[in-house]
Amino acid sequence: MGFYAPAQIVRDAREHGVVVRPADVNASDWDCSLEPDRGSAGGLALRLGLRLVAGLGTEEGRAVAKARRAGNGAPFGSVEEAARRAGLGRPALDALAAADALAGLSAPRRAALWEAAAIDQCRGDDLPLFRASAGDPPLAAEAMPALPTEDEGEAVAEDYAAAGLTLRAHPLALLRPELDRLGLHDTQHLASMRQGAWIRLPGLVLIRQRPGTAKGVVFVTVEDEHGQANIVVYAQVGERDRAALIGARLLVVEGRVERQTEHAEVPITHVIARRLTDRTDLLRSSRDRAGAAAPNMGRSRDFR
């Protein structure tokens, strides 16, 4: 996808009226694809591909689509059936379950993870999973426990951890009351600020870029629930705040607004960073309150 992170492209598509559908073992190919949808811009919806599922190998992902087509397009009826027909092992099942790509099998994330673990336990050392026929009794005979339902914050966090994006609410929308309490701004406020104004902007880090010709300057793209912002980090600031620049998933940028209006149909806005602060702890505290795993918010390009 070139310079842009998948989350940026998906967000832009949705803002332009394109319906985006989640990765699903019963619908997705390895690559993203288009599906008919009268309610979507251009009459086509975007179906996310299995390549976006973190931890799922190319071979396993392609095997899912191949097995589905080999059955005359018959959908998988259960997690176990998907495992048998596509020859999936525990790591692939866990990756698909974590990305909620098994939800179409009436197996929401936590239930799917439980089923994957149960199937793995039933396989044994001689791998009957791959020798079993369709008429054999289910491998996972253990009754499903009453698992707690994910709340919105947990679901968003898990989506980012497993796929690098979410089709649900944006994480910063959920954190906004806390960010407001800290006196931080948002990209809507940035869009209306004058040249030279000072801003304290939090955002999920989507991309870090340090071109070889930039003389140590790092370009960072951050995102909140309203949009993206381009951050320019000069070498001196990057060296001083290196830990935050490299490691932050939620980055607070303090700096000066630079707006170019000449010879531009649309004003070009950057924030010239003066200080970078890693506030990933806000994501962790939100996770801890919800009991979810810390999200890996976006897959940024590594410039180290």
Looking at per-residue pLDDT, the higher value among 91 and 121 belongs to 91
Q: Is the pLDDT of residue 94 over 80?
A: yes
pLDDT in the model for residue 240:
97
Indicate the pTM of the whole model.
0.76
Q: Token pair of 184, please?
A: 């931080």
Structural domain includes residue 166: no
pLDDT band at 138 (very low <50, low <70, confident <90, very high): low
pLDDT band at 149 (very low <50, low <70, confident <90, very high): confident
pLDDT in the model for residue 61:
96
Strand partners, 254: 200, 275
Structural domain includes residue 302: no
Range of the domain at 119: 6-149
pLDDT band at 175 (very low <50, low <70, confident <90, very high): very high
| DSSP structure class, residue 197 | -
What phi-psi label fits residue 73: left (phi over 0), alpha (psi between -120 and 50 degrees) or beta? left
pLDDT band at 304 (very low <50, low <70, confident <90, very high): very low
For 61, the enclosing helix (H) or strand (E) is: helix 58-70
Q: What CATH number is associated with residue 225?
A: 2.40.50.140
Instruction: Determine the angle formed by the axes of helices 109-123 and 90-98, rounding to 10 degrees.
Output: 170
pLDDT in the model for residue 261:
72
pLDDT in tens, 260-295: 877 667 678 999 999 999 999 998 765 554 443 334
Q: What CATH number is associated with residue 76?
A: 1.10.150
Looking at per-residue pLDDT, the higher value among 33 and 72 belongs to 33
pLDDT in tens, 242-259: 999 999 999 999 999 998
Q: What is the mean pLDDT of residues 68-82?
A: 89
The answer to whether 247 and 264 have CB atoms below 8 angstroms apart is no
pLDDT in the model for residue 286:
58
Pair 183, 135 in one domain: no
Structural domain includes residue 303: no
Separation of alpha carbons 289 and 258, rounded Å: 38
pLDDT in the model for residue 29:
96
Pair 40, 131 in one domain: yes
Pair 132, 179 in one domain: no
**Residue 300 carries which side chain, given as an amino acid letter?**
S
Q: How many domains does the chain have?
A: 2
Structural domain includes residue 298: no
Pair 199, 282 in one domain: yes
Pair 24, 120 in one domain: yes
Separation of alpha carbons 107 and 113, rounded Å: 9
